[in-house]
Amino acid sequence: MPAPPPTPVQRSLVSDQVFSLLCEDLLAGRYEPGERLPTQRRLAADLGVNMASVREAVKRLEQLRLVESRQGEGMRVRNWRTQGSLDVLAHLVFRAGGLDAGVLGAVMEARRLMLAEAARLAARRRTGEQAERLAGLAARLGEAEDPAERQALDFAFYTELVEAAQNIVFTLITNSIRELYFRHAEAFRAIAGDRDLLAPLYARTALAIKAGQADAAAAAVGALAGAQEAALL
């Protein structure tokens, strides 16, 4: 008696596994840019899965701009360093089930630089309500004892800061990071772990933004993000 066809949930799980395997191979450079990938039929046979699961995985790879399919040419590898988007970062940071320290360091460096500029803009552009919300979040961060609560408040603080900067690019970058950040919250828990060290820096940042002191705001949030970077790395 033939086995029943896989359910949509089962197919989705298998597709996730196929996607992860192929994504790791592509990001690790096991295929060169421009190189032709095995056909979907060959991949399905090699991996012992059905064609539907491979098709779904390939669609996701195409959305990330890791591969492209051309009529009559099959699938070819794209150069993610020159053609990839911000979405690739999530898969670069978490490689083979663990954190890639080199990529994480680059992400934290970019975060620190972006937040310094965002704080500078926020000091010039924030509304009174935004300044008050930042001050309130800073106060709660100084009081919260639960690490998970502090982590959530930390992200809320930076989200408010970026909103106050009124730069749509900074806002969209923050939005794109949110899902990855909270999906792997425990891996980033140290980012808000030292309350005694970080609490005065949140307060300094909020105060400088409220006072309209752009350079002081940039310096304060730079110190804050730098301390978090050191704790995490």
Predicted confidence at residue 138, as pLDDT, reads 97
**Of 15-24, 53-62, 75-84, 91-100, where does mean pLDDT reach its minimum?**
91-100
Domains 8-84 and 89-232 share a fold: no
Tokens representing residue 206 in the block: 């909020």
In this structure, the dihedral spanned by the alpha carbons of residues 213, 217, 218 and 223, taken in order and rounded to 10 degrees, is 150
Interatomic CA distance for residues 212 and 221, integer angstroms: 14
- Angstrom distance (rounded) from CA 197 to CA 192: 10
- Judge contact between 161 and 114, C-beta under 8 A: no
What homologous superfamily is domain 89-232 in, according to CATH? Answer: GntR ligand-binding domain-like (1.20.120.530)
Are 175 and 115 spatial neighbours (Cβ–Cβ below 8 Å)?
A: no
∠ CA 159-210-107, rounded to 5°: 35
Fold of domain 8-84: Arc Repressor Mutant, subunit A (1.10.10)
Percent of the chain with pLDDT over 70: 93
Residue 148: pLDDT band by 50, 70, 90 thresholds?
Answer: very high
> Can you give the pLDDT at residue 5?
54
The domain segmentation of the chain, as residue ranges, is 8-84, 89-232
What's the rounded Cα separation, in Å, for the pair 147 and 150?
A: 5
Residue 95: beta bridge partners? Answer: 98
Helices (H) and strands (E) in the chain, counts: 11, 4
Phi, psi torsion values for 148, nearest 5 degrees: -65, -40
Per-residue model confidence as pLDDT tens digits over 202-233: 999 999 999 999 999 999 999 999 999 999 88
